[in-house]
Chain A
Amino acid sequence: MTSNIDEVYLEGEDFIVRSLRQSDLTKRYLGWMNDPEITQHLETRKNDSSMEELVSYFENQSESTYQTFAIIDKHNDKHIGNLSLSPISLKHNQTGLGGIIGDKEYWGNTGAFVESMRLLIEYGFTVLKFHKIHSGVSMFNIPCIIASKKVKFLEEGYRKDHMRYPDGSYADVMIFGQINPYIKNKKT
């Protein structure tokens, strides 16, 4: 079982963001994807994922479609969540950014998500040289909205009633984006 991308390892003050590894595909990780509380704000939630699907998702990563990264607490080497660059568009030189903190012990710690996103955004702009990184966040996901603003994502707008929650309610989705600050290549 292999993925199609080179190993990435980004070290911050308290957290490490590195490529997802085969050894990360554990029942614990699968449990995150099937926990409605953890996945409630994800557009892609399904809550009946199997280990086979997790393996398939891992193996099908590529530099032109999506890449998934593990967030590791440096102090105890614990895998606490994931970030992904998805969907990647090489045509438009941009990528989406999404993620979850699966370990609920870290839910009160916005710092984990903020530091991890900063590391991956920096990598996306300086190494992968994307022109733009963007994300969509449910209005009900206040921690993620605040984290998005802390990493200097700018609000680009709203998508009205774009997400339906399990209780049937609809939520607006805030659209965030950041243009690569290191490259000036705007078409005039």
Chain B
Amino acid sequence: MEINNLDKIQDIFIETLKLQIEEYTETLSYIEYDPWDSVTHMKIVAKIEQAFDIEFEMRDIIAMETVAKVKEIVAKHINELT
């Protein structure tokens, strides 16, 4: 994925979860990190959909458990568009 797209995702996570930059890691997970709850998750999903002009299916939304998984699913959607 291009750097600016990775930056977009990073910005969305840092802004929504109010993270310090060092807290933003590939392994950050909604399973382990309590502030990443269902409401926050849907905010992250909506912001990513808006930023990339894509629409996730329900299974994608559920599968976006970690930052790494989010990047993978966004990349899949971007590639589908190109």
- A in complex with B: yes
Residues of A whose CB lies within 8 Å of any CB of B are: 108-111, 114, 139-140, 142-143, 145-147, 149-150, 152, 174
- What are 15 A-B pairs with beta-carbon distances under 8 A? A108-B39, A110-B37, A139-B58, A139-B59, A139-B62, A143-B37, A146-B37, A146-B41, A146-B62, A147-B38, A149-B30, A149-B31, A150-B30, A150-B34, A152-B31
Distance (Å) between the CB of B68 and the closest chain A CB?
Answer: 16
- Mark contacts of B28-43 with chain A using CB atoms, 8 A cut-off: 1 yes-contact digit, 0 otherwise: 0011001001110110
Q: Name the residue of chain B whose CB is nearest to the CB of A138.
A: B58
Question: How far, in whole Å, are A60 and B61 apart by their CA atoms in the complex?
Answer: 39
Q: Shortest 4 CB-CB distances between A and B: which pairs?
A: A110-B37, A143-B38, A146-B38, A110-B38
Specify which of A108, A109, A142 lies most central, judged by the most chain B CB atoms within 10 Å of its CB.
Answer: A142
Distance (Å) between the CB of A42 and the closest chain B CB?
Answer: 17
Is the contact region of chain B dominated by helix, strand, or loop, or is it mixed?
helix
Q: Check if B11 is an interface residue, CB within 8 A of chain A.
A: no
* Selected contact of A142 from candidates B31, B34, B41, CB within 8 Å: B41
Query: Quick one: which of B7-63 are within 8 Å of A by CB?
Result: 30-31, 34, 37-39, 41-42, 58-59, 61-62
Question: How far, in whole Å, are A147 and B62 apart by their CA atoms in the complex?
Answer: 11
Number of residue pairs A-B, CB distance < 8 angstroms:
37
Specify which of B37, B39, B41, B58 lies most central, judged by the most chain A CB atoms within 10 Å of its CB.
Answer: B37
Distance (Å) between the CB of B44 and the closest chain A CB?
Answer: 12
Is the contact region of chain A dominated by helix, strand, or loop, or is it mixed?
helix
* Residues of A close to B37: CB separation below 8 A: 109-111, 114, 143, 146
Question: How far, in whole Å, are A145 and B30 apart by their CA atoms in the complex?
Answer: 11
Q: Name the residue of chain B whose CB is nearest to the CB of A150.
A: B31
* Residues of B close to A143: CB separation below 8 A: 37-39
Q: Is the CB of B65 within 8 A of A142?
A: no
* Residues of A close to B42: CB separation below 8 A: 142
Other 16 A-B pairs with CB < 8 A, given A140-B58, A142-B61, A146-B41 = A109-B37, A110-B37, A110-B39, A114-B34, A139-B58, A139-B62, A142-B58, A142-B62, A143-B37, A143-B39, A146-B30, A146-B62, A149-B30, A149-B31, A150-B30, A174-B62
Q: Is the CB of B30 within 8 A of A111?
A: no
Specify which of A114, A147, A150 lies most central, judged by the most chain B CB atoms within 10 Å of its CB.
Answer: A150
